[in-house]
Chain A
Amino acid sequence: MGQPNWDELAEVALARVRAAGAEYGDIRIVESRTETVRGEDRRLAEVRDSRDGGFGVRVLYHGAWGFAASAIRSLEEVPRVAELAVEIARGSASLTRDPVRLAEEPVHRDVVMTARIVDPFAVPLEQKAAMLMETMESLHRQSGIARSRAQLWTRQDVKLFVSTEGSRIHFDLLAVQGELEATAVHDGRFASRSYNTPHLRTGYELINQANLVAEAPRVAAEAVEKVKAPAVQAGTYDLVLDPEHLSLTIHESCGHPSELDRALGYEANYAGTSFLTTDKLGTFRYGSPHVTLVADNTEPETLAATGYDDDGVACQCWDIVREGLFVGYCTNREVAPKIGDRRSRGSNRADSWGSVPIVRIANVGLLPGRASLDDLLADVRRGIYIEGHGSYSIDQRRYNFQFGGDAFWLIEHGKRIHMLRDVVYHDITPEFWNRCDGVANERFRRRYGFITCGKGQPGQSGWMTHAASPARFRSVSVIRGSGDKTP
């Protein structure tokens, strides 16, 4: 991969931007490779090798943005696109009341490469196909399984970022993931149970360690147990949430509200705003003292740990919520000065060469506590243990949410008794996080992430990891997610 003339293309683009009198400009030249091996119902439904290359030029002119991009990487197309970006920025400037002033950032010249032991693209396709087929066969050996799914996903992004300020950063980033799912049918109902690795920036060693084939019998058995399980009785329960489940709860109810562009109204027309308005910074009681949520874009293998963001800002680690108090936002160079920050937190990301970078959630994770998982369960008289992701929805200011899950177990007197189905809990975000009275210790910490976080117009997919240990929440309202029987 890679084009020998990327440096030349970058120089041509930025020369046009400088000549036009713009105060800032950058170019990202990207070539992405995605391999998808997708199995469905005992067959390989898709084996695809996708390449996606192009460049995008971003220009700040008289305090207003312009961006133009093209898939055609030629010495004729690059200056044309750079001039179009300038022309667009000039138009934007005619409708700008509050000119953009970028936060300062040192010039960086660097090379960032994902560490890997096993190159996933070098693993023979036959080996991957055979593993997925064996996984699906194993799922179907369980009586009651009607459908199966198994998938491997690999992505490589080779990128060059160059700015008019002098930054020049080469990236060779990798991410992999594997998953499987079984769907059981019983008595006119159906239910699915899944197992997946997190999306992480590693090599194929992640897939080897996960051993999808070995997990398949348990997943299939639990799918059948789930579809036959009694429906939950609506009421108030203590909840013990596993790390994978919490990754989504953190993402929706803490990650998105902590994006400063939302708080400033940039997303009001689509993804929404945030109840964490700037007047609450440093004073708002977001959660109980057990709740410390840290944004860490420096932890190796995590999705947002890319060395630098698409502003060319170095990745950092900072607190969003410290012992329950709201203390920090995810920012980029544009919005950071609006709350008096001298430096961006480095959370500006685009999902491809053709997209303009926007503020994205960082790797926001829940800091481990001191308990063991057994400690958390032992103190529950009537509760529910929830694993994995299910249905999720939240209002456009991130107050009222509801979450399902992938698997649920009734807890009575400190013991997991049996599975439940149709569990949905709902709450108001700060009320929910103030119900947290215990977080398990570092030994139980796991990392899960997302590559499909939707935001922006045109829509983009954001990538980030959310780490957590299991946590307990007292007296949460649970309803039955089965229509006319609720609540």
Chain B
Amino acid sequence: MSSGLTSRQEFEFLTDLVLKHSSGDDTVMSLWDSIGGTTRFANNQVIQNVNARRVTLTVTVAFGRRRGTANTTELTAGAVQDALKRAERIARVSPEDPEYLPSLPLQTYLAVPSWRAETSSAGPARRLADARRMIEMCQGEGLNAAGIVATSDGIAALSTSQGLRAYEPRTEARFSVTVMDGDASASASNTHRSCDQLGVEERTRLAIGKVKRAGSPKPLAAGRYTVVLEPSAVAGLLSWIIWLLDAKSYEKGTSPFSGKLGQPLIDPRLNLHNLPLHPDLLGTSFDSDGVPSRESWWIQDGVLRQLAYDRFTAHTKAVPPISLPEAPCLSGDGIGDDLIATTERGILVSNFWYLRVVNHTDLTLTGMTRDGTFLIEDGKVAGAVHNFRFHESPLRAFSNLDECTHPAEAVTAETGKMLVPAMRIRDFQFSSVTCF
């Protein structure tokens, strides 16, 4: 952990400061403390280079079922006690919350590999070096690069008057690059606990290779196509399934999954796990309520097996609380190694962009293809095509699975890190075409 971040001993001191002075029946204190920065480049030069130390201490106090929350970004004794007093003041005048539950007692957590020394010590110089390498690689090929390198070191901590003490150091490194050649673009990205595991050079080289094949894109008519989705594109679709798996909406009939627990949801070859201990995923030991993360099956053989239960909904359903998967892995039978070679005619989609829900009942999404869309003919990439807009539900798309690869690391500008396969999908609906 970086020197300067709140240590475990300092966290204990802050806990004592809050809990001993609290007049509430129940008190929760959480702390986020981080140091991190981002080097950003465009047009083959640095355009932005930032570093920030951020800290937030939050106190929630309950009197009976009345709750109040206040926070501060100052860790002085005066500021922390002021936050406590403000939370108490709110709690005293708030109406009773029928969903109130006392805070958690001491929990047992997984030993998640959430912190790496090399990322903790990576400062502006390391970020600049990675940015320089990407710029040089692209410039050397006569290409235009835009991207970021970011690292952060932080701690997440939580304590309750019921005895819970949770403290976890977390590092995160991230890079992304968009390589452009006139109208053509390709991108690469990764996120990892270790800045040494990002694969910056290797992934940038792949993007350079792709952009060279993406020139002179031709417009193709919208319609239903067989598509080969690279892992980043699959991640974009899967994210919307994951984000909407909450049990409260399910129980109230306002979820696209309502009535489908235990029912077939997608192709029976597909399984969705949460793997907090996986070294390439961003698992955490506990969520914001202190609920332990655990390895769990969410979709098994295509059947929906698990929902995310907040503590109140879990209590009413007599099941353990569980948060949405923070370290998801979607896997299939993984028999297809080269999905392009076995595709007679289809569209290769590198990535999706600006995905939004159009119809919440059946989870129809819209979005655009981005950074490399190609026509496949006779098992080969025949050339680049203009980007499409799609209107499609990931539930339908993942039910129309033809073949998939083994899971690979994927992260996009709009999703978290996950392991997902590339997929070939039948009858994917592109609804319109754009101008490039």
Using a CB–CB cutoff of 8 Å, the interface residues on chain A facing chain B are: 41, 43-54, 56, 64-73, 81, 84-85, 87-89, 91-92, 94-98, 124-126, 129, 133, 146-147, 183, 185, 188-190, 264-270, 272, 275, 354-356, 358, 391-397, 399-400, 402, 404, 422, 424, 426, 428, 457-458, 477, 479, 481-484, 486-487
Contact = CB atoms under 8 A, between A and B. Distances in A.
Interface of B: 37-56, 67-75, 83, 86-87, 90, 93-95, 97-99, 124-125, 128, 131-132, 135, 144, 146-148, 150, 176-178, 180, 185, 187, 252-254, 353-362, 364, 366-368, 370, 387, 389, 391-393, 396, 413, 429, 431-436
A75 to B, nearest CB: 14
B283 to A, nearest CB: 22
B104 to A, nearest CB: 18
Contacts of B51: 67-69, 84-85, 88
B367 A400 contact: no
Given A44-B94, A265-B146, 14 more contacts: A43-B95, A45-B99, A47-B68, A53-B73, A56-B52, A92-B46, A96-B45, A126-B93, A185-B253, A190-B254, A190-B361, A266-B47, A269-B176, A482-B358
Contacts of B148: 269-270, 457
4 closest residue pairs by CB, A with B:
A400-B434, A481-B358, A268-B146, A269-B146
B364 to A, nearest CB: 4
A72 B35 CA distance: 12
Nearest to B132: A95
A269 B146 CA distance: 5
B364 A482 contact: yes
Nearest to A59: B49
Contacts of A126: 93
B178 A49 contact: no
A399 B389 contact: no
Contacts of B353: 272, 395-396
A484 B429 CA distance: 8
A419 B342 CA distance: 47
Contacts, number: 261
A53 B74 contact: yes
Nearest to A72: B53
A69 to B, nearest CB: 4
Contact of A71 (B53, B187, B366, B413): B53
A22 to B, nearest CB: 14
A88 B389 CA distance: 40
B135 A95 contact: yes
A45 B68 CA distance: 10
B282 to A, nearest CB: 16
B128 to A, nearest CB: 5
Contacts of A129: 93-95
Contacts of A84: 51, 124
A71 B436 contact: no
15 contacts: A51-B73, A53-B72, A68-B50, A68-B52, A88-B37, A91-B46, A95-B45, A266-B42, A268-B180, A269-B177, A392-B356, A397-B436, A400-B368, A400-B432, A481-B359
